Amino acid sequence: MADPKVRFDIEIIVNGEVVLDSDTARLLREIKRLGSLLKASQSLGLPYSKAWDMINHAEKSLGSKLVETWRGGGGKGGTRLTREAEKLLDAYISAESRLAGCIGPMFPRFQPTREPSVIIAYSHDHILELATGLLSNDYSVEAICSGSLRSLAMLSLGEADIACAHLYEPESNSFNIGYLQKYYIEDPVLLGGFKREVVLAFRSDLTVSSVEEAVELLRRGRLRLVNRNPGSGTRLFLDYLLRKHGVKPRQVKGYNNAKYTHEDVVKEIALGRSDIGLTIRYYSELYGLNSIPITWERYECFTTKNKTGKKGVKAFEEVLNSTSIKSLIEKLPGYRLF
């Protein structure tokens, strides 16, 4: 038998949840040093999707953001730590220094990993995840469920090859176009997409007859909302609906109860922990919820002109526009072809 080894670790806990351990701390250090989540994950030999999962888990446990992507003119931009992350990392480094003084240096656990064929940043969707699953049969795929805004930011920064989003623009009654300009995405190329039906889903034992009634019940605190994560297209659309009816987020019970996927939203309602949430029809029907139709949105996947020759990008475009995916779009509830 090989000699047993003892490993010590440091954990920072907030409200009973582990927010920072040695792996996440190393990731934050590399983000701070390199100014890029992609470069940080590559430096650590860490799959990019795993890096995103670590950040998302820590942010969910903490209840606030640890990293932010930004883009300025002249090709400048990157990923940087928030003030909250800086404070946590400083606390971790201090504790690590005290522990190392007692037991000696601590050793990394990450192992090298191969570079993915294609990196896809997307807003949560059932069809998109089926498409990436098909693509992964032949290619090494990093699929990051990062939300619409982060997905476009990652494409702009070169941290993703493809970004899939559904960002509504009330001024022009359109989707995504203005956000592509806002994030300085030069020469965007639309690879494909589909339409999804957005609904207000609520518990099967409730009766709500209209959007106006639902919003009024939320304003009066009679219904508990479950929301999507900041930066998601669905959350931004909900904010638009609330503004349209003169309701402020602080008036809504559960506004800060945020979930990263549509399925998590409908599960929360089905389990009775919340009463209502904005989601897509497919998941609402899957869990047997009542719903009120809101609109049909465009869910679109983009790349940039300089990435169109990449094999993984071409393959994704083929899968997204394949007969099998189009057949699913036509059959599943709440989906349509363009």
Tell me, what CATH number does 71's domain have?
Answer: 1.10.10.10
Helices (DSSP H) in the chain: which residue ranges? 22-34, 37-44, 48-62, 83-103, 126-135, 148-157, 177-182, 211-219, 233-244, 262-270, 281-286, 311-320, 323-331
| Domain with 143 in it | 117-338
Domain-ending residue, one of 103, 132, 160 = 103
Contact predicate 141/312, CB 8 Å: yes
**pLDDT attached to residue 192:** 98
Helix, strand, or coil (residue 199): strand
For residues 249 and 308, membership in a common domain is answered with yes
- Upper half-sphere CA count for residue 144 (Cβ side, 13 Å): 33
The reported pLDDT for the residue numbered 86 is 94
141 and 258 both lie in a single domain: yes
Does residue 7 belong to any structural domain of this protein? no
Cα–Cα dist 152/133, whole Å: 21
Q: Is 232 within a domain?
A: yes
Q: How many domains are there within the chain?
A: 2
Whether 121 and 207 map to the same domain: the answer is yes
Confirm whether 111 is domain-assigned. Answer: no
Helix axes 311-320, 126-135, angle to 10 degrees: 130
Taking the C-alpha atoms of residue 174 and residue 323, their distance in angstroms, rounded to an integer, is 27
CB 224 within 8 A of CB 253: yes
Confidence (pLDDT) at 48? 83
Q: Note whether 289 and 144 are same-domain residues.
A: yes
Query: Among 103, 126, 148, where does a domain finish?
Result: 103
- 235 domain-assigned: yes
**218 plus 321 within the same structural domain:** yes
Answer yes or no: do 68 and 97 share one domain. Answer: yes
What pLDDT does 3 receive? Answer: 62
Q: Are residues 173 and 47 in the same domain?
A: no
pTM of structure: 0.81
pLDDT along the chain (338 residues), means of 10: 64 86 91 90 85 87 84 67 92 81 53 73 96 94 91 90 97 94 90 98 96 96 95 96 96 94 97 98 98 98 96 97 97 97
Whether 110 is covered by a domain: the verdict is no
> What is the Cβ-side half-sphere exposure of residue 220, based on CA atoms within 13 angstroms?
7
Whether 135 and 241 share a structural domain: yes
Which of 77, 103, 129 marks a domain boundary?
Answer: 103
In a shared domain, residues 90 and 225? no
Pair (276, 147) in one structural domain: yes
Residue 39 lies in a domain: yes
Answer whether residue 157 is part of any domain.
yes
CATH number of the domain to which 261 belongs: 3.40.190.290
The answer to whether residue 177 is domain-embedded is yes
For position 7, what pLDDT does the model report? 60
Instruction: Check whether residue 72 and residue 121 sit in a common domain.
Output: no
- pLDDT at 208 (0 to 100): 96
99 with 126, same domain?
no
